[in-house]
Structure formats: structure tokens, C-alpha cells
């Protein structure tokens, strides 16, 4: 890795190994816990009567774009780096990625499967099992390189706060939240119910990551947002915009003003839309706050953005061009391994293309230092 730029990817993904819950759950929950049926062209997770295959789009690292598929795939079809942390490290080394933040797959991007679960005692045990596995086995393979990202029992903000504190003590560095909790039947981000969680996040300085797509409750929800007759290209084009709406909610809700160390990151949301959001929100504050129930806000929305919101991009020349407006300290780079948008194994080339003409100090912040600070990591192999 000597001649490579060291990179810190703020958003990658794990395909969970098949025995994760069966090995980790307390005996009384194993029978009911998630089971992976796999082999011979099949790989399906079973839980509470639902069968969930792994979709090709979740594990395409290394394929040509012409071969991307939205159909089901198996462990045999994917790189071992998808599910094995040691193999992942080899893939990261090849690509010059020093550190990585990895989201769950089967549980959903914010633990959705467990939020929806009927048996909440079981669901909580599954969350503990995932987090302990993540801390001990996945991140345990290289604690200075894997950032422990936790899932929470978001159906209960008090329990969520507890899990933040429990895992922080074991070295956890961030947790999954969701863009629009109300779409999952939870209190909205404006609801005071989240106070215990914001408070625990503030205390531990663990950022809340809001990945695009984390609030899609079902395929029907997704279809409802898409114009009839539109090709899937439209969904792909528009998908990052959910981060615009989620960030806009955060700008206007009291949490960021109240908690000085509360941080959010909009995972996979891109950054090119941020300058428009900030200008538009400040304009709204200047011109409309008197009739829109926002006259109490003492500072412009962009002030809260600078302090509390991080935005993440994979491929976004337009956004980098506007980095001065977004805030050079608020931008994180991501590789999205092993999803379809991943830069792997061309991260070095993609980064070189993006940062040509951008000062070295800016490039270092965006591709490494901002993430190291946000996630409180002190990796050995820094720049």
C-alpha cells in the first residue's frame, strides 16, 4: 500500500455469515432466531416466517457493470470479502482503503427486520448478538481498521440509549439510525421521544448514520414513490435525494441545537445537492420563518449543518467543486463495497480523478481525516 493514497471509507457493507445468530444467540432463542439456508444455488435467511434471499445488487464487487443483476445470489457467487473479515482486509489492502464502516445486510440498513419483528425480546437478543459479533469477530479481525457500527432496538428509544452505552463501553463507534423513522412506524425525528437516544449519542460522541433506503418499509412503499412506467434508472437517479429530505428535517428540528456533540452522517446520499439545501434553508429562515413556526430558531439552518451533519459521496465531481459551500470538514468519502456503486477495485483511480486540482490538505480531510475524527479512530496506517 506504500504508494497508494490511504482512504477511509465511511460506507461499506457486510454480507452476514450463515451461522452468525445460531452461534451467538442464547440457547432459548436459537430455534426462533435467523437461520441461513444455503448451498446449491440457494441462500435464504429465514426469520419469523419470512424468507429473504441475498440480492445480487448487494454483492457485485468485482463484476463488470454489464453483469450486474437484481436477482438472488449465493455465497459462492460473491467475493469472500463480502462475508469474511480477513478476506475483506485483503480486498481493502488491494484498494488502498485503510478503514471501513460496514452496514448490515440481512437485518436491513438500520436493523429494520428486528424493528418489524413480532417477538421483541427475541429481536433484542438478535441485536445484541449482531453487535457482539460485529465488535468481536468482524471488527476484531483488525480493530484499528474496522469501525464498529451498531444496530439498535429503535422501537424503544430508552433501550436504544442503553445499547449505545453498552456497546460504547466495548469500543463501538457509531450506530445505525434511519432517515424517516416515522415511515417505519417509529416517532418522527421531531418527537421528544428520541431524547434518551440523542443524549446517549451526545455523551458517547457516537454518530447516528442514516443510510439511504433505510426507511423503505416494503417494496410497495418504494413503488409508491416512483412514477408509473418509469424504468429502474429513475429510482437509481433519485435515490440519494432522500438524504436531502432527511438532512432538511434535521436542520429544522431542535435536536442539533440542543446537543452539542450530536452528529449525523447521511450515508450514500451524495453531496452535490448540499449547497442548494443550505441556500434554500437559509433563505427560508430569512424570509419565511415568521409564518412557518420557526421564528424561535436563533441561527440559520446552515449553522447546525456545519456542526452536526456529515455527508458522504462515492462519485460526485459536482459536489467536490462546491466543497467550500458544503464545508470542507463535513464531507466523507465512501467506497460502498460490495454494492453496485462501489469504487472497488478502482478506488485509487476514482479518487485521483475526483481530486485532480484540489489541494492536498482538502483531499486528506475528505478521504481520511474527517472520518477518523467523526468515528474516533486512530488507525496505525494514517497518511
Interface ranges with a copy of itself (CB under 8 A): 57, 65-70, 180, 182, 188-191, 227-238, 240-241, 244-245, 248-249, 251-253, 270, 272-273, 275-281, 283-294, 301, 315-319, 321-322, 325, 340-341
Closest distance to a copy of itself from the beta carbon of 164 (Å): 23
**Distance in angstroms (rounded) separating the CA atoms of residues 255 and 262:** 8
Report, in Å, the least distance between residue 7 CB and a copy of itself: 20
Strands 208-211 and 264-267: parallel
Rounded to a whole number of angstroms, the minimum distance from the CB of residue 118 to a copy of itself is 24
Residue 145 is given by DSSP the state T
Q: Which is nearer to a copy of itself, 33 or 157 (CB)?
A: 157
| Contact assessment for residue 106 and residue 90, using Cβ atoms and an 8 Å cutoff | no
- When the beta carbons of 317 and 381 are compared against a copy of itself, the nearer one is 317
**Contacts of residue 101, Cβ cutoff 8 Å, sequence gap at least 6:** 9, 10, 11, 12, 147, 149, 174, 209, 334, 371, 375
Give me the residues paired with residue 102 across strands. 12
Nearer to a copy of itself, 141 or 325 (CB): 325
CB of 163 to a copy of itself, least distance (A): 24
Q: How far is the CB of 13 from a copy of itself (least distance, A)?
A: 17
Per DSSP, the three-state class of 188 is: coil
42-47 and 50-55 beta bridge pairing:
antiparallel
- Give me the half-sphere count of Cα atoms (radius 13 Å) on the Cβ side of residue 43: 20
Which lies closer to a copy of itself via its Cβ, residue 130 or residue 264?
264
Residue 135 burial (10 A CB sphere; 0-12, 13-18, 19+): buried
If the CB atoms of residues 38 and 245 are measured against a copy of itself, the closer one turns out to be 245
Whether 92 and 109 have beta carbons less than 8 Å apart is answered as no
Q: How far apart are CA 160 and CA 185, in angstroms?
A: 16
Task: Indicate the burial class of 253 (C-beta count within 10 angstroms; 0-12, 13-18, 19 or more).
Answer: middle
**Residue with Cβ nearer a copy of itself (104 or 181):** 181
User: Of 5, 62, 11, whose CA–CA distance to 270 is shortest?
Assistant: 11
CB of 276 to a copy of itself, least distance (A): 3
Least separation, in Å, of the C-beta of 370 and a copy of itself?
20
Distance in Å, CB of 247 to a copy of itself, minimum: 10
Residues 6+ apart with CB under 8 A from 51: 44, 45
Closer CB to a copy of itself, 16 or 316, in the complex: 316
Q: Burial, 136: exposed, middle or buried (Cβ in 10 Å; 0-12, 13-18, 19+)?
A: middle
Q: Which CB atom, from 120 or from 289, has the smaller least distance to a copy of itself?
A: 289
The single residue listed with the C-alpha cell 416517532 is: 187
Task: Pick the closer one to a copy of itself by CB: 132 or 341.
Answer: 341
Q: Please give the distance of CA 34 from its chain centroid, rounded to a whole number.
A: 22
- Which residue do the cell numbers 436491513 mark? 108
Q: How far is the CB of 292 from a copy of itself (least distance, A)?
A: 4
CB of 99 to a copy of itself, least distance (A): 25
Identify the residue whose cell numbers are 412514477.
227
The smaller minimum CB distance to a copy of itself, of residues 56 and 96, is found at 56
Amino acid at each position: 500500500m506504500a504508494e497508494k493514497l490511504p482512504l477511509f471509507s465511511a460506507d461499506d457493507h457486510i454480507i452476514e455469515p450463515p451461522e452468525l445468530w445460531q452461534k451467538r444467540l442464547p440457547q432459548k432463542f436459537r430455534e426462533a432466531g435467523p437461520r441461513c439456508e444455503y448451498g446449491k444455488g440457494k441462500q435464504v435467511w429465514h426469520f419469523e416466517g419470512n424468507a429473504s434471499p441475498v440480492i445480487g445488487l448487494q454483492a457485485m464487487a468485482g463484476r463488470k457493470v454489464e453483469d450486474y443483476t437484481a436477482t438472488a445470489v449465493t455465497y459462492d457467487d460473491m467475493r469472500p470479502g463480502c462475508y469474511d473479515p480477513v478476506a475483506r482486509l485483503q480486498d481493502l489492502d488491494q484498494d488502498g482503503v485503510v478503514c471501513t464502516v460496514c452496514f448490515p445486510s440481512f437485518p436491513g440498513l438500520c436493523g429494520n427486520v428486528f424493528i418489524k419483528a413480532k417477538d421483541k425480546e427475541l429481536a433484542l437478543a438478535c441485536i445484541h448478538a449482531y453487535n457482539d459479533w460485529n465488535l468481536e469477530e468482524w471488527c476484531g479481525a483488525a480493530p484499528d481498521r474496522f469501525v464498529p457500527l451498531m444496530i439498535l432496538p429503535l422501537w424503544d428509544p430508552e433501550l436504544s440509549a442503553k445499547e449505545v452505552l453498552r456497546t460504547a463501553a466495548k469500543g463501538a463507534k457509531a450506530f445505525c439510525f434511519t432517515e424517516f423513522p416515522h415511515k417505519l412506524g417509529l416517532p418522527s425525528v421531531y418527537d421528544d421521544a428520541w431524547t434518551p437516544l440523542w443524549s446517549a449519542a451526545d455523551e458517547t460522541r457516537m454518530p447516528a448514520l442514516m443510510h439511504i433506503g433505510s426507511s423503505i418499509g416494503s417494496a410497495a412503499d418504494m413503488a409508491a414513490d416512483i412514477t408509473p412506467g418509469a424504468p429502474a434508472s429513475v429510482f437509481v437517479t433519485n435515490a440519494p435525494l432522500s438524504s436531502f429530505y432527511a438532512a432538511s428535517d434535521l436542520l429544522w428540528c431542535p435536536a442539533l441545537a440542543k446537543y452539542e456533540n450530536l452528529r449525523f452522517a447521511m450515508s450514500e446520499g451524495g453531496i452535490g445537492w448540499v449547497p442548494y439545501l443550505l441556500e434554500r434553508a437559509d433563505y427560508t429562515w430569512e424570509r419565511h420563518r415568521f409564518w412557518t413556526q420557526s421564528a424561535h430558531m436563533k441561527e440559520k439552518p446552515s449553522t447546525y449543518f456545519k456542526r452536526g451533519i456529515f455527508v458522504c459521496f462515492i462519485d460526485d465531481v459536482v459536489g467536490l467543486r462546491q466543497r467550500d459551500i458544503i464545508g470542507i470538514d463535513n464531507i466523507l468519502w465512501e467506497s460502498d463495497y460490495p454494492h453496485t456503486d462501489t469504487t472497488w477495485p478502482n478506488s485509487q483511480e476514482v479518487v485521483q480523478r475526483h481530486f485532480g486540482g484540489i489541494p492536498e490538505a482538502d483531499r486528506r480531510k475528505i478521504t481520511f481525516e474527517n472520518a477518523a475524527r467523526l468515528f474516533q479512530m486512530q488507525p496505525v496506517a494514517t497518511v
